[in-house]
Amino acid sequence: MTDLDKFRGMNPPEIDLISKKIHELLRDHARFIEIVNSLSGLFSEYELLMEYLKENNIVFQKEQADEKISPELLRLERNPILMRRILEQISERFYLSMRGLEKLDEALSQSKILFEKKSFLERNFHKS
C-alpha cells in the first residue's frame, strides 16, 4: 500500500479543481483566438490603404524617395505579412499546448472515475 502514498495529493476534489482551471484556460484560449481572428480585419484595412497609396502614387515612388524614407516604406509594405506570420505561429503553438491540456483533462477525468470505482469497491468490501 505504500505505492499509493505517492498519489496522496490526487483525489476527486483536487482533480475537479485542476479540471476547472483547465476549462477556464481553454475558455480564455477561445477568446484569444477570437481576438486574433478579428485582427485579420485590421490587416485587410491596412493592406487596402497601402494599395490605395500605391495606386495613387502617394509615397511609393521608391526611385524618388530619399534613403531615409525608403526603408520605412518597405516596412510599411511588409508589416501585415510579418504580423500575420507571427500571429499564425503564436496561434499554432497556443493551440498545441491547449490540445495537451485537453488530453490532460481527459486523463484526469478517467482518473476520477477510477477513484470513484475504488471508493465504491472499498465501501462494499467494508460492508460485507
What does each of the 128 residues of the chain score in pLDDT, given as a tens digit?
A: 445 445 566 788 888 999 999 999 999 999 988 888 888 778 888 888 878 877 877 665 555 555 555 566 666 777 777 888 888 888 888 888 889 889 999 999 998 888 888 888 888 888 87
Domain residue limits, the chain:
9-127
What sign does the CA torsion over 21, 27, 29, 31 have? negative
| CB-side neighbour CA atoms (13 Å) of 86 | 8
Radius of gyration of the chain from its Cα atoms, rounded to whole angstroms: 27
What is the CA 50 to chain-centroid distance, rounded?
A: 30
Cell of 45: 484595412
Amino acid in the structure at residue 96:
L
Cα angle vertex 47, ends 45, 52, to 5°?
95
Reported pTM = 0.61
